[in-house]
């Protein structure tokens, strides 16, 4: 069993006036092919006037993961890191970082993606952001 923090960011496209992003971080225990336990989930919305760079993305993920009371290797999709080779984002994070590899990690990213996407949709609707 391994402790991981699966992260995903939704909304990295321009809407009126800027970029309204939501990051989801899920603290999980995984085996090679299954998510064994979901321990905690946190989300963090983030507003940016200009297009986010790699540093902004790393900062947002760190801030979201810091809200969790659990530790683990941060696992993200390569696309979230602008398809940079692993060592580039790895050197920017304060803790362990990797891209998704195993079946369980892929499933975990899928979970984080659904959380961040629905949280963003809900916030946009409730806060009337696009109107």
CA 116/CA 11 separation, integer angstroms: 9
For residues 18 and 85, which CB has a smaller minimum distance to other proteins in the complex? 85
Q: Which stretch binds other proteins (CB under 8 A): 14-22, 39-47, 58-66, 99-107?
A: 99-107
Pairing of strands 2-10, 19-30: antiparallel
Q: How far is the CB of 110 from other proteins (least distance, A)?
A: 9
CA distance 112 to 116: 6
- Using rule CB under 8 A, residue 79 touches other proteins: no
Six-digit token string for 46:
């983030």
d(CA 26, CA 41): 4
Which of residues 33 and 130 has its CB atom nearest to other proteins in the complex?
33
25-44 positions binding other proteins, by CB under 8 A: 31-34
Site for other proteins, rule CB under 8 A: 2, 31-34, 85, 101-103, 106-107
């Amino acid at each position: 069993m391994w402790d991981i923090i699966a992260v995903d960011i939704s909304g990295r496209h321009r809407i009126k006036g800027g970029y309204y992003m939501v990051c989801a971080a899920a603290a999980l225990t995984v085996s090679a092919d299954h998510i064994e336990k979901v321990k905690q989930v946190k989300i963090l919305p983030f507003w940016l006037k200009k297009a986010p760079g790699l540093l902004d993305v790393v900062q947002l993920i760190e801030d979201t993961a810091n809200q969790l009371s659990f530790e683990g290797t941060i696992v993200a999709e390569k696309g979230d890191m602008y398809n940079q080779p692993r060592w580039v984002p790895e050197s920017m994070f304060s803790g362990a970082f990797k891209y998704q590899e195993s079946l369980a990690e892929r499933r975990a990213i899928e979970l984080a993606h659904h959380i961040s996407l629905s949280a963003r949709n809900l916030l946009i609707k409730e806060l009337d952001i696009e109107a």
